[in-house]
């Protein structure tokens, strides 16, 4: 590497971080998102802003900010390519040693980049780091602290059979992680779950830190709200693939839906029993194969605690008559799960978010 190029990639001992931010009709929240990146304690950044054919003032805001800060690299799609193609295009425009993601309606806390870079610098075996977050109402009110589903590499590998293991817009990873792997257009609205689970099952090592470094806005115009049914279908397909490829097992459609907590139907007692029994079987099989540390086993058990709580609550919510009474009794019978330290923490978070969302309407 020439001296000039090396200087462009480092400030002192700081490696260059490319922050990848797709934007589409983002004028309502874009300024706050941009300011939160440009004011990071970590200074050696390039901010790759990809406007995906916006019809509002997004392009104007990007151009105005680009005049003020040379770290901004604007990219304008001639037509709307969609999120997945735009993300892959952004990877090609990113020249940093590390790549961080950022959504145009969220907020990064000031030391987010510095903290995550330090995690990867301290352990060269890690490929990606992410963190917890705070929920942010549409109006900008900070709500509950949201903890990661798991934090350790093998804990996250287990999570990927059922759920997205990391908070996508908060991730920071080595650029080498995605040289051969890109976001897959086949998995519409669940591209993050697909790629991160695929990478984990290829042997890549991820970590989450408990500390909240990000503010995730509850935007009711977001993909997860507007295309929920497509997202659920795609999510189920990814989970099915992951379990089949690793465990060589496949489950009945409704059992699978309960296991991953995508429940919008009545759950019979037999279906509930099978689903929870299968979750425990997969845990035992995973522990036998992977030989995780005590910390990683605790991580897996913590995730399952939250999964069992959600399955119970969603089964109760979607039942009627005597079946609702059965699920209420099941919740009471599993009270130790709800009253465990992880269960209490999770329930406090869910209750707080729901209350704040109702207040913000």
Residues 310 and 338 in one domain: yes
Q: Residue 194, exposed/middle/buried by CB under 10 A (0-12, 13-18, 19+)?
A: buried
The CATH number linked to 77 is 3.90.550.10
Q: What is the pLDDT of residue 8?
A: 46
Distances (CA, A) of 4 to 72, 92, 99, 112: 19, 21, 21, 28
Q: Which residues contact 64 (CB under 8 A, 6 or more apart)?
A: none
Residues 191 and 250 in one domain: no
Residues 201 and 280 in one domain: no
Residues 52 and 171 in one domain: yes
**How is the chain split among helix, strand and coil, in percent rounded to 5?**
50, 15, 30
Residues 186 and 268 in one domain: no
Residues 31 and 152 in one domain: yes
- Total domain count for the chain? 2
**Spatial contact of 36 and 107, defined as CB atoms under 8 Å apart:** yes
Q: Which of 63, 50, 125 shows the shortest CA–CA distance to 94?
A: 50
Residues 213 and 232 in one domain: no
Residues 346 and 271 in one domain: yes
pLDDT in tens, the chain (361 residues): 333 344 445 566 789 999 999 999 999 999 999 999 999 999 999 999 999 999 999 999 999 999 999 999 999 999 999 999 999 999 999 999 999 999 999 999 999 999 999 999 999 999 999 999 999 988 888 888 999 999 999 999 999 999 999 999 999 999 999 999 999 999 989 999 999 999 999 999 999 999 999 999 987 665 555 677 888 999 999 999 999 999 999 999 999 999 999 999 999 999 999 999 999 999 999 999 999 999 999 999 999 999 999 999 999 999 999 999 999 999 999 999 999 999 999 998 876 545 544 554 4
**Spatial contact of 113 and 156, defined as CB atoms under 8 Å apart:** no
Give dist(CA 20, CA 47) in Å, integer: 6
Q: What is the pLDDT of residue 142?
A: 86
Residues 28 and 170 in one domain: yes
Domain housing 104? 3-219
Residues 128 and 105 in one domain: yes
Q: What is the pLDDT of residue 138?
A: 84
């Amino acid at each position: 590497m020439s001296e000039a190029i090396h200087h462009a990639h480092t400030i002192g001992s700081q490696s260059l971080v490319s922050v990848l931010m797709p934007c589409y009709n983002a004028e309502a929240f874009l300024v706050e998102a941009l300011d939160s990146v440009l004011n990071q304690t970590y200074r050696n950044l390039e901010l790759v802003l990809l406007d995906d054919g916006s019809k509002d003032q997004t392009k104007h805001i990007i151009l105005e900010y680009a005049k003020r800060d040379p770290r901004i690299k604007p990219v304008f799609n001639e037509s709307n390519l969609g999120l997945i193609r735009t993300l892959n295009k952004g990877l090609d425009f990113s020249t940093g040693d590390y790549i961080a993601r950022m959504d145009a309606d969220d907020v990064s806390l000031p030391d987010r980049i510095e903290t995550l870079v330090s995690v990867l610098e301290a352990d060269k075996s890690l490929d990606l780091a992410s963190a917890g977050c705070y929920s942010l109402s549409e109006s900008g009110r900070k709500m509950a602290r949201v903890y990661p589903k798991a934090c350790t590499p093998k804990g996250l590998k287990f999570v990927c059979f059922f759920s997205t293991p990391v908070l996508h817009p908060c991730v920071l990873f080595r650029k080498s992680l995605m040289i051969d792997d890109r976001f897959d257009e086949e998995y519409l609205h669940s591209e993050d779950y697909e790629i991160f689970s695929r990478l984990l099952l290829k042997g890549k090592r991820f970590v989450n830190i408990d500390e909240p470094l990000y503010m995730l806005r509850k935007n009711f115009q977001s993909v997860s709200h507007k295309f929920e049914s497509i997202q659920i279908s795609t999510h189920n397909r990814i989970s099915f693939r992951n379990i089949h490829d690793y465990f060589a097992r496949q489950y009945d459609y409704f059992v699978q839906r309960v296991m991953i907590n995508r429940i919008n139907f009545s759950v019979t007692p037999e279906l509930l029993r099978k689903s929870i029994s299968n979750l425990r079987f997969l845990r035992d099989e995973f522990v036998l194969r992977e030989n995780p540390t005590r910390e990683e086993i605790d991580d897996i058990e913590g995730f399952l605690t939250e999964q069992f709580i959600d399955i119970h609550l969603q089964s109760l919510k979607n039942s009627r008559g005597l079946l609702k009474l059965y699920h209420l009794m099941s919740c009471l019978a599993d009270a130790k799960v709800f009253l465990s330290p992880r269960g209490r923490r999770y329930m406090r978070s869910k209750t707080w978010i729901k209350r704040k969302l109702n207040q913000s309407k």
